[in-house]
């Protein structure tokens, strides 16, 4: 993934994919692909986007009391100029920011900016022109050192968003971090799926990664304790917030039970609990179910399924097993969930603004009452 001839103007999509592959493992690439496919289902109708908020980074300093200093960072989906910033913050993010505040998590809205010498060209176009004319070996440098970042921090009182320089905001966080690198090629299926995405979506994914690998790890060199992200949020008509986790998965088979199951990251459950318990809420775990095939045939999409965090807590196996690589490169611990607890996803219902979901305690009490009747 080094060197190479200058990219042609038609190769912008290839350039962005090359950058993402240099940072993402194949498992992360699959997970993010599920997020993209999910969003495409949402925006089939205008009303769906109204009740959905794309996700955020969850970061904490590598200190003894890291849990007191967790920060949620929402990354803006395009590159702006310095004079077009604060009006880019969408209304429903304030509802999510208040929800996160209840969980003891501060919210930042991060906007990537680029100084264009040609004042008649907008910042994003100027950046992409430069990207097209660079060699592949320098793509990381362009994304991670040549973008500047502007932070807006959420506060409950007016003005709700106050601007602050990233370096000042993170002034007390320990230094010494560096970005991780992926040295393994993605398989043909994953590459093909990314090649079919629009340049706008690919750039949005790249900016999300450039914030972490570029600003946080390359420019500021911060040491981060167990970095995580939330894949998305539903915001209902009543301003109820429901966190979402989105993953692409193929069910495995439990020989002892003779039943199918899904394995999910145990850390995801703990992260969601941190969000929903202080808010007396619940969360959704959404799966893009795939049918596994041999190397000669592509993986086949079957359907979208989901389960609630209450279902997960009630039905999860208590014996953990080894999983794949996590966000920091180490191995995760996986929880086994019965396949039967996952229901077919009804996008019209979920994004009607009236999704019927109770709190964890309400749902679990109801389900336990039903179990006791059997």
Instruction: Give the pLDDT confidence score for residue 59 in this predicted structure.
Output: 97
The reply to whether 164 and 247 lie within a common domain is: no
List, for residues 45-91, the tens digit of each pLDDT value.
555 567 888 899 999 999 999 999 999 999 998 998 876 566 667 77
Residue 225 in domain: no
Would you say 297 and 284 are in contact if contact means Cβ atoms under 8 Å apart?
no
Query: Per the domain annotation, does 228 fall within a domain?
Result: no
203 and 330 fall within a common domain: no
Mind listing the pLDDT tens digit for each residue in 147-182? 999 999 998 777 788 899 999 999 999 999 999 888
Q: How confident is the model at residue 223 (pLDDT cuts 50, 70, 90)?
A: very high
242 in the same domain as 170: no
Same domain, 213 and 242: no
Residue 254's pLDDT band, with cuts at 50, 70 and 90, is: confident
Tokens 């505040």 locate to 101
Angle between helices 26-42 and 188-195 (to 10 degrees): 40
pLDDT at 329 exceeding the cut of 90: no
pLDDT by residue (tens digit) across 175-203? 999 998 888 999 888 898 899 888 888 99
In the chain the beta strands, taken as DSSP E runs, fall at 52-59, 71-75, 106-113, 148-154, 161-164, 228-235, 241-249, 252-254, 259-265, 284-291, 300-308, 321-325, 331-338, 343-344
Q: With a cut of 80, say whether residue 324 has pLDDT above it.
A: no
Res. 4 pLDDT band, cuts 50 70 90 = very low
Rounded to an integer, what distance in angstroms lies between the CA atom of residue 64 and that of residue 91? 35
Helix (H) or strand (E) holding 22: helix 12-23
Indicate the range of 109-118, 250-259, 294-303, 357-366 predicted with least confidence: 294-303
Same domain, yes or no: 211 and 277: no
Average pLDDT over residues 226-240: 90
Residues 89 and 171 in one domain: yes
The pair phi, psi for residue 253, each rounded to 5°, is: -120, 125
Judge if 209 and 256 occupy the same domain.
no
- Counted domains in the chain: 2
Q: Are 90 and 74 within 8 A, CB to CB?
A: no
| Region 345-353 average pLDDT | 76
Do 212 and 306 sit in the same domain of this protein?
no
> 182 and 276, same structural domain?
no
pTM: 0.89
Give yes or no: residues 66 and 132 share one domain.
Answer: yes
Domain that includes residue 320, residue range: 237-373
The answer as to whether 2 is a domain residue is: no
**Predicted pLDDT at 2:** 41
**20 vs 15, residue with greater confidence:** 20
Per-chain mean pLDDT for the chain: 86
């Amino acid at each position: 993934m080094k060197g190479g001839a200058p990219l042609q103007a038609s190769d912008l999509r290839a350039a962005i994919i090359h950058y993402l592959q240099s940072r993402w493992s194949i498992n992360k690439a699959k997970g993010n692909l599920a997020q993209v496919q999910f969003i495409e289902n949402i925006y089939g109708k205008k009303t769906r986007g109204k009740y959905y908020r794309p996700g955020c980074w969850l970061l904490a300093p590598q200190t003894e009391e890291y849990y007191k200093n967790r920060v949620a960072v929402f990354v803006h989906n395009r590159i702006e100029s310095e004079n077009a910033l604060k009006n880019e913050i969408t209304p429903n993010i304030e509802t999510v920011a208040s929800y996160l505040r209840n969980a003891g998590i501060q919210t930042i809205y991060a906007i990537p900016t680029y100084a264009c010498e040609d004042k008649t060209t907008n910042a994003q176009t100027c950046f992409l022109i430069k990207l097209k004319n660079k060699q592949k070996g320098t793509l990381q440098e362009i994304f991670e050192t040549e973008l500047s970042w502007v932070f807006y921090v959420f506060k409950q009182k007016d003005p709700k968003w106050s601007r602050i320089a990233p370096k000042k905001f993170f002034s007390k966080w320990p230094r010494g971090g560096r970005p991780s690198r992926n040295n393994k090629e993605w398989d043909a299926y994953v590459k093909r799926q990314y090649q079919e995405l629009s340049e706008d979506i690919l750039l949005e994914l790249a900016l999300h990664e450039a914030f972490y690998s570029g600003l946080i790890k390359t420019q500021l060199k911060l040491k981060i304790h167990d970095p995580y992200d939330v894949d998305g949020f539903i915001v209902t008509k009543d301003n109820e917030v429901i966190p979402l986790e989105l993953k692409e998965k193929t069910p495995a088979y439990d020989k002892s039970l003779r039943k199918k199951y899904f394995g999910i990251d145990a850390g995801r459950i703990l992260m969601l609990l941190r969000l929903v318990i202080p808010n007396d809420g619940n969360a959704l775990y959404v799966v893009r179910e795939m049918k596994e095939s041999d190397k000669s045939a592509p993986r086949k999409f079957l359907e979208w399924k989901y389960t609630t965090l209450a279902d997960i807590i009630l039905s999860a196996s208590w014996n953990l097993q080894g999983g794949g690589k996590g966000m920091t490169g180490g191995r995760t611990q996986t929880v086994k969930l019965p396949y039967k607890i996952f229901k077919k996803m009804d996008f019209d219902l979920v994004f009607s603004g009236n999704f019927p979901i109770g709190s964890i305690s309400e749902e679990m009490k109801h389900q336990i009452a039903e179990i006791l009747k059997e």
